[in-house]
């Protein structure tokens, strides 16, 4: 096995702390580290249900790739491929996230290096220093774990699994699987879940997860025809999110529901999405903020008395993301200076009039979102015909051109400030819109739309030190000053403030707030 010096992914300084977390089966550390057991040659998640090995038999690793580079095989019981990612705010982890999402399945290392602005030598050095594994080794680990996931959760043919996981051939897949795991792919097959139509996959998160709040937020903003929140279960008390999907020229649909007993989301997908499963799963994980570590975030935010009570009322609150950045940006522009309900209505008209039709087994899902090319090609008066001013229609086309130029592509070294400046260079996008897009679509956890009237009102209501009993909302300057203490998790603070306006309706459009306050809260 590699030594700590040749495998920096091995964790040694806090080994005793990791062992205590392992012994406690502490879900807060799921995905933060993996345990290699010397006596078995297997590596596990901290939540593995097997008997805890002796501390002297354990080694700890920051990633699954580091554990495999040290010669360990994945546990068949706790399944490391289910672990949520442990994303840090640094260049190495940002690069790793792109590789984990399949970036090297569509390009070679040289092209990938150029895309992120590094030489291939620099890329290799950054990843070796952080994880003890090369770009190719990281990609191979993710491909194998993803293939293992498909083997254990679906009935897909071996050929489909190999290509969906990013392998160039079934022969290469079989050989690498046997080499790394010392078993044939077929030996890990399990009976797939037969519920419903399509492919069923599970996505883990770190509990708690405020599902009702997140699904309520998405319900109030769902664009008719494109997406919806539906009720399921014998009593109709289980909410699920559904939408159409079009990615890399392949069309389909998906449904996301909650498995609270397992700390997982259940993802159901159209079979035709098999070739693009890896990028689709990456987008779903982003949309439902599955990589968040709520205990860590809440421990920071609850130090502020303004947020403490709402954190207790809504444990595990996430920042709902976006399946597609362009969609969210257009939705944000349509929501400028109008209510949530008004923006949803106008967005629905956009989808119905200009989106391509799609056949799905879901009655509520009939359309795709219009492509940037479609919006650019429309005459301004026709685009404005959905019920928006001509200037706003022009902004939609400006946003579409920005998207085609790669403006919403977040590279590993992209900073929040740079992305905000780039977005605000688009005519029609101001500070509030840029912050909102950065928060939900680009996943910057410190983005904060301080100009939002709802946030300003919520802060005034929650503050025990309001400047005046008659003060119905804070100024933007007051809110930004208070928000300094919430950094680097200001996006989560924003969600808590919005939730406080409507604790009885779980984010479904902030109906408890006045229409004036609903403006700018898309």
Residue of 324, 339, 348, 304 lying closest to 484 (CA atoms): 304
CATH class of 1-64: alpha beta
- For domain 199-291, the CATH architecture is 2-Layer Sandwich (3.30)
Distances (CA, A) of 27 to 196, 266, 298, 381: 29, 19, 15, 54
DSSP secondary structure, 169-187, as one string? -HHHHHHHHHHHHSS-GGG
CB neighbour list of residue 38: distance below 8 Å, 6 or more residues apart: 57, 58, 59
DSSP character at residue 225: B
Active site residues: 44, 452
Q: Phi, psi at residue 513, to the nearest 5°?
A: -90, 160
- What pLDDT does residue 191 have? 65
Q: Are 501 and 513 in contact (CB under 8 A)?
A: yes
Give the Cα separation of 245 and 12 in Å (integer): 43
Residue of 286, 279, 260, 280 lying closest to 268 (CA atoms): 280
Average pLDDT by stretches of 10, the chain with 522 residues: 54 84 90 94 94 94 90 94 79 87 91 90 90 90 95 94 95 95 90 73 95 95 97 86 96 97 96 96 96 93 93 95 97 92 96 97 96 98 97 98 96 91 97 97 96 93 65 90 95 96 44 37 53
List, in sequence order, every residue forming a beta bridge with 60; answer none if it has no partner: 11, 35
Kindly state the tokens that stand for 218: 């998405």
Sign of CA dihedral 462, 465, 468, 469: positive
Q: What b/e readout covers 110-149, taking b as 16+ CB neighbours within 10 angstroms?
A: eebbeebebeeeebbebbbebbbbbbebbbbbbbbbbbbb
Q: Are 486 and 444 in contact (CB under 8 A)?
A: no
3-state secondary structure of 119: coil
- What pLDDT does residue 234 have? 77
Q: Are 271 and 254 in contact (CB under 8 A)?
A: no
Alpha-carbon Rg for the chain, nearest whole angstrom, is 23
- What pLDDT does residue 89 have? 65
- What pLDDT does residue 515 have? 36
Identify the H or E element spanning 11.
strand 10-11
Residue of 68, 62, 13 lying closest to 33 (CA atoms): 62
Q: Phi, psi at residue 86, to the nearest 5°?
A: -110, 90
Q: Are 405 and 329 in contact (CB under 8 A)?
A: no
Q: Which CATH number fits domain 87-192: 3.40.190.10, 1.10.10.60, 1.10.10.10, 3.40.630.30?
A: 1.10.10.60
Give the Cα separation of 372 and 370 in Å (integer): 7
> Are β-strands 264-269 and 73-74 bridged in parallel, bridged antiparallel, or unpaired?
unpaired
Kindly state the tokens that stand for 275: 């070739």
Burial class (CB in 10 A: 0-12, 13-18, 19+), 99: buried
0.75 surpassed by pTM: yes
Give residue limits of the domains in the chain: 1-64, 87-192, 199-291
Give the Cα separation of 302 and 128 in Å (integer): 36
- What pLDDT does residue 509 have? 33
User: Do you know the residue count of the chain?
Assistant: 522
Kindly state the tokens that stand for 258: 């909650």
Give the Cα separation of 246 and 371 in Å (integer): 10
State in Å, rounded, how far the first CA of the chain is from the last one: 52
Distances (CA, A) of 94 to 104, 410, 488, 506: 14, 10, 17, 32
């Amino acid at each position: 096995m590699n030594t700590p010096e040749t495998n920096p992914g091995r964790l040694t300084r806090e080994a005793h702390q990791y062992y205590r977390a392992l012994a406690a089966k502490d879900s807060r550390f799921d995905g933060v580290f993996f345990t290699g057991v010397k006596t078995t040659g297997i590596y596990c998640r901290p939540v593995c249900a097997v008997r805890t090995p002796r501390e002297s038999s354990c080694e700890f690793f920051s990633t699954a790739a580091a554990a495999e580079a040290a010669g360990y095989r994945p546990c068949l019981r706790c399944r490391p491929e289910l672990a949520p990612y442990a994303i840090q705010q640094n260049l190495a982890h940002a690069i790793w996230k792109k590789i984990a999402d399949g970036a090297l399945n569509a390009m070679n290392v040289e092209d990938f290096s150029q895309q992120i602005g590094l030489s291939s030598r620099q890329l290799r050095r950054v990843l070796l220093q952080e994880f003890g594994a090369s770009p190719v080794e990281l990609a191979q680990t993710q491909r194998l774990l993803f293939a293992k996931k498909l083997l254990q959760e679906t009935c897909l043919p071996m050929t489909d699994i190999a290509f969906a996981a990013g392998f160039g051939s079934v022969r290469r897949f079989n050989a690498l699987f046997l080499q790394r795991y010392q078993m044939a792919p077929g030996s890990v097959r399990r009976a797939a879940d037969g519920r419903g139509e399509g492919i069923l996959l599970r996505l883990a998160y770190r509990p708690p997860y405020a599902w009702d709040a997140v699904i309520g937020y998405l319900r109030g903003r769902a664009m008719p025809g494109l997406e919806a929140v539906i009720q399921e279960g014998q009593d109709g008390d289980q909410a699920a999110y559904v939408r159409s999907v079009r990615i890399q020229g392949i069309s389909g649909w998906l449904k996301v529901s909650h498995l609270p007993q397992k700390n997982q989301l259940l993802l159901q997908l159209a079979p035709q999405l098999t070739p693009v499963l890896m990028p689709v799963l990456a987008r779903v994980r982003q949309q439902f903020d599955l990589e968040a570590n709520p205990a860590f975030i809440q421990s920071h935010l609850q130090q502020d008395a303004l947020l403490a009570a709402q954190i207790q009322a809504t444990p595990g609150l996430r920042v709902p993301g976006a399946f597609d950045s362009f969609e969210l940006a257009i939705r944000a522009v349509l929501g400028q200076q109008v209510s949530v309900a008004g923006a949803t209505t106008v967005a629905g008209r956009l989808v119905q009039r200009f989106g391509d039709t799609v056949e799905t087994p879901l009655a509520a899902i009939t359309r795709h979102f219009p492509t940037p090319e479609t919006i650019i090609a429309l005459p301004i008066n026709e685009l404005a015909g959905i019920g928006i001013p001509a200037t706003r229609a022009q902004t939609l086309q400006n946003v579409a051109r920005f998207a085609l130029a790669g403006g919403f592509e977040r590279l590993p070294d992209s900073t929040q400030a740079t992305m905000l400046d780039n977005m605000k260079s688009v005519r029609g996008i101001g500070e509030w819109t840029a912050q909102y897009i950065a928060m939900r679509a680009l996943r910057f956890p410190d983005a904060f739309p301080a100009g939002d009237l709802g946030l300003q009102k919520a802060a005034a209501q929650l503050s025990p030190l309001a400047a005046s009993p008659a003060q119905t909302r804070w100024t933007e300057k007051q809110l930004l000053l208070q928000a300094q203490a919430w950094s680097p998790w200001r996006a989560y603070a924003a969600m808590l403030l919005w939730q406080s306006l409507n604790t009885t309706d779980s984010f479904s459009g902030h109906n408890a707030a006045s229409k004036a306050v609903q403006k700018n809260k898309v």
